[in-house]
Structure 1
Amino acid sequence: MRIVEGAGAWRPAADGAANDWAEQLRTPDLSVGTYCIPAGGTDDQSPHTEDEIYVVTAGRATIVTPGATAEVGPGSVVFVPAGEEHRFTDVTEDLALLVVFGPAYGSRGSAAPSPE
């Protein structure tokens, strides 16, 4: 057993970066991290080679995919299949997302840049 410290907690980006991404846990089969976008910020991530689940722990935004658009806030859980375009827009409050990748982020090779 392991307690995953800091997972899902808001933290501002360091050194002038637009957003913050930190991986808190990695095993071959999954990885867990936190992705933070400040209010008014822009999500510039690309599709990933792994399935992912977002759990909104703080903030409000809209998630946009080719097939749907939805408003999200604390407690929202979003599944994005591998390879699907997706982006958080209209970030009205500092957004903190617990992100679970399965299998672990980048393990399928040719991964897009991490969500930062």
Structure 2
Amino acid sequence: MQIINGAGAWTRPIAGGANDWVEQLKVPDLSVGTYCIPAGGVDTQSPHTEDEIYVVTAGRARITTPGGDEEVGPGAVIFVPAGEEHRFTDITEDLALLVVFGPAYGSRGAAGEGDHVRDA
């Protein structure tokens, strides 16, 4: 057993950073992390090579996929299959997301593919 302290908690991105991604646990079959985007921020992620579950722990936004847009807020659980284009938009309150990847983040692709945050 392992307790993952701080997973899903809002953290302001470091100075000069647009968003904040921290991976808190990684084992071969899954990984867990926290993704934070400030209100008014822009989500610049690209599709991932792993299946993904988001749990909204704080904030409000829309998630946009080829299948449509949905408003999300605290308690929303979102499944995004590997390879699906997706992005959080219209972020009206600081957004904190607990993120679970299966298998572990980055394990199916070459380094740099499916980056959660791309620096400008």
TM-score, normalization by structure 1: 0.97
State the shift of 1:15 in Å.
Answer: 2.8
CA offset digits 1:3-31 (Å, max 9, x no partner): 00110000011131100000000000000
State the shift of 1:114 in Å.
Answer: 2.5
Q: Which residue of 1 aligns with 2:51?
A: 51
- The answer for unaligned runs of 5 or more in structure 2 is none
Sequence identity percentage? 75
State the shift of 1:54 in Å.
Answer: 0.2
Q: Which residue of 2 aligns with 1:21?
A: 21
Q: Distance in 1 between matches of 2:68 and 2:51?
A: 17
Q: Which amino acid aligns with 2:114?
A: A
Q: Distance in 1 between matches of 2:117 and 2:17?
A: 12
Q: Which amino acid aligns with 2:115?
A: P
State the shift of 1:78 in Å.
Answer: 0.2
SS in 1 for 2:53: strand
CA offset digits 1:42-66 (Å, max 9, x no partner): 0000000000000000000000000
* 4+ residue runs over 6 A deviation: none
The two structures, once aligned, show a CA RMSD in angstroms of 0.9
State the shift of 1:115 in Å.
Answer: 3.8
Q: Distance in 2 between matches of 1:96 and 1:115?
A: 14
Q: Which residue of 2 aligns with 1:90?
A: 90
State the shift of 1:112 in Å.
Answer: 1.7
CA offset digits 1:59-94 (Å, max 9, x no partner): 000000001210000000000000000000000000
Q: Which residue of 1 aligns with 2:65?
A: 65
Q: Which residue of 1 aligns with 2:2?
A: 2
SS in 2 for 1:13: coil
SS in 1 for 2:92: strand
The answer to whether structure 1 residue 103 and structure 2 residue 88 are counterparts is no
Q: Which residue of 2 aligns with 1:40?
A: 40
